[in-house]
Structure 1
Amino acid sequence: MKLVKPDLSGLWTKICVEDDMKSFEALYHALGAKLLKFSVYYVSQKEVAEEIVSEVFVKCWHNRKESTHVLNPETYLFVAVKNQSLKHIRKYTNVHLVELEDQQEFQFQDGTDPSKELERKELHLKLDAAIDTLPPQARIVFKLIKENGMKYKEVAEILKISPRTVQTQLFRAITKLRIVLGSYHELDHRKSSSNDLVNLVMFLGIIHYFLVFCRQF
């Protein structure tokens, strides 16, 4: 059954106008995990990201009466989390971007071979390693679009860049991932893992052309 996306604007209105705590809790459940992962892209520590996200939500509740002008609460919260994460980075300098465990990684068909699961895990590690080679901005753009399904315009508003720059960074990310994963394929002599890598590289190519023609600003 397809999950229905909650009406975030409606929840926001109830929070700001009616002081509705249940709507506030619903908003947190809808966006909390996404915002946590987004913060980790910057600060690298899950515990720190949890504090940042919690602080942002607490401030939103305290300032709710002054926030009725917000039309897109999702973008508003992403920007707030980004700003708080950057503030933390400025305070603590030696920080590197890392990736949390992803429950929505590319999936492949299971086979009857028990070693298939191990090979798939190895492939996911290769994908994570390939993503980690991307420049910071390209990496964040790729993750926001891939994991959160955001449009160019939404990502542009969050990162304070133009939609065209978002598109350019995404294409650069996909191109580099195809190159890196292609090199893994050349070094991998095990047929099953190689086939999965080929599938993934082809999949990234399909994403590239799909986004060129179908993604709306």
Structure 2
Amino acid sequence: MQEKEWILKAQKGDGDAFCALIGQYENKIYNIAYKFMQNSFDAQDAAQDAIIKMYGSIRKFSFQSAFSTWMYRVVANTCLDLLRRRKPSVPVEEYSDAVVSREGNPAEQTENNELGRSIRAAVQELSEKYRMVLILKDMEGLKYEEVAEILSITPGTVKSRLFRAREKLRKILEEKQIV
């Protein structure tokens, strides 16, 4: 069955069609949530909340944009809502960051894990409007037009915010002597 058929059936209340549709995006939903939330526990909660929101509002999906664009918007907004309600906290240390692969130099991998954590922490210091653009464009690899549609801004605004976000991120990393 094609995506459009699943959407149309889900809009009529077919739970199986909705599950099949979301099954196609499950990993992407979690990955987006993880980039915003910075730990697996909060990412799982955010992903689940986003899926519940999508289920509740699938009838409103009007095919004006791609389903994936709508999905990105719901996940990003869900994560931002959760982050606004919470006090800033230090991300939970991920087990996967502590595991050293048998491939490569363990010291080098530890350094790479630390650098990755430092960069993710620096991204979290950016204001919401810069963080969203940076995550969607640089981390998720979306096109300027897709980011613009998700955030309801123009592609020109995406480009200028992305430029500023990268500059601010560079300054944060320099201040912390990470780069």
Q: TM-score, normalised by structure 1?
A: 0.57
Given residue 56 of structure 1, which amino acid in structure 2 is its aligned partner?
K
Task: Give the CA deviation at 1:167.
Answer: 0.8
Matches within 5 A, 1:1-217: 10-11=2-3, 13-17=4-8, 24-39=18-33, 41=36, 45-59=42-56, 63=59, 67=61, 69-84=63-78, 93-96=85-88, 113-184=105-176, 187=177, 197=179
Going from structure 1 to structure 2, the CA distance change for 1:114 and 1:132 (only over 3 Å counts) comes to same
Q: Provide the aligned C-alpha RMSD in A.
A: 3.8
Structure 2 contact 9–17 (Cα < 8 Å) conserved:
no
Going from structure 1 to structure 2, the CA distance change for 1:98 and 1:69 (only over 3 Å counts) comes to farther
Task: Give the CA deviation at 1:176.
Answer: 2.5
* Alignment gaps of 5+ in structure 2: 97-102
Structure 1 contact 32–53 (Cα < 8 Å) conserved:
no
Going from structure 1 to structure 2, the CA distance change for 1:167 and 1:95 (only over 3 Å counts) comes to farther
Going from structure 1 to structure 2, the CA distance change for 1:80 and 1:183 (only over 3 Å counts) comes to closer
Structure 2 contact 7–18 (Cα < 8 Å) conserved:
no
Deviations 1:44-94 (A, max 9, x none): 833531331231342256x3xx6464441111223334455566678xx34
Going from structure 1 to structure 2, the CA distance change for 1:17 and 1:151 (only over 3 Å counts) comes to same
Structure 2 contact 137–143 (Cα < 8 Å) conserved:
yes
Task: Give the CA deviation at 1:170.
Answer: 0.9
Which residue of structure 2 aligns with residue 191 of structure 1? none
Going from structure 1 to structure 2, the CA distance change for 1:98 and 1:171 (only over 3 Å counts) comes to farther
Task: Give the CA deviation at 1:143.
Answer: 0.7
Q: TM-score, normalised by structure 2?
A: 0.67
* Max Rg structure: 1
SS in 2 for 1:149: coil
* Alignment gaps of 5+ in structure 1: 1-6, 104-109, 189-196, 198-217
Given residue 28 of structure 1, which amino acid in structure 2 is its aligned partner?
I
Question: How many angstroms apart in 2 are the aligned matches of 1:165 and 1:28?
Answer: 30
Given residue 150 of structure 1, which amino acid in structure 2 is its aligned partner?
L
